[in-house]
Amino acid sequence: MYGETSKFRYLVLAAATTTRPADFNAAALPLPELSTTDMPAQVSTKTDTPPKVYGSPAAGTAVTWQKPRPDTGSWTAALSGNVLPTKAERTNMQTMYAALGKYVWIERQMNTDDTWEGGCALVTSTGKPIPADGYVTFSLGLTGYGPKYNDTATIPAP
C-alpha cells in the first residue's frame, strides 16, 4: 500500500436528527478504503465597515486598516476513488447513494491514525459506480451541518 488511505463509516440519520447516534460504533456502515479524500474546515472572516476614503489621505494622516476576526465555520467532505468493494461494501455504497439530500453522520480515519473525525453532513452529490476491470468508481460530496469534530471520541454527551 502506497500513501495514505482513508476508512469511512456512516449512518443515515432519522429525520430531525443531527447528533451522533448512541449506537454509532456498533451500527455504522463501512465504505471501501479510499485514496482520494478531503475533509476541510473553513472559517469566514468578518470586519467592521471600513471608513470611506476617497483619493489619497491628506498629508500627515494615515489610513486605518481593519483587522479581520473569525466569524462562522463550515466544512465539506469529498470522497472519490477506484475501489473493489466487497458485497457488503457495495450495499453500503448504494445506501449512501440513496441518501442524496439526506443527513448522515460520517466519520473518517486515516490509515496512519487511531482517531475518527467527522460529524453530521448533508449528502450533496453522488456519482454512479462504473465498472472498470472489476473496479468501480466511487464519488461523493458532503456539506457539514454543525461542527466537524477532529476526534469524535471527545464529543460531549447531549
For β-strands 131-132 and 135-144, DSSP reports them as antiparallel
Q: What is the pTM of this model?
A: 0.80
Q: Residues 119-145: pLDDT tens digits?
A: 999 999 998 776 666 788 888 999 999
Residue 148: exposed, middle, or buried by beta-carbon count in 10 A (0-12, 13-18, 19+)?
Answer: buried
The helix (run of H) or strand (run of E) holding residue 91 is: helix 87-98
Check if the beta carbon of residue 130 is closer than 8 Å to that of residue 153.
no
Per-residue model confidence (pLDDT) at position 81: 84
Q: How far apart are CA 19 and CA 145, in angstroms?
A: 10
Enumerate domains of the chain plus CATH numbers: 5-43+69-154 (4.10.410)
Among 47-56, 68-77, 104-113, 144-153, name the one with the lowest average pLDDT: 47-56
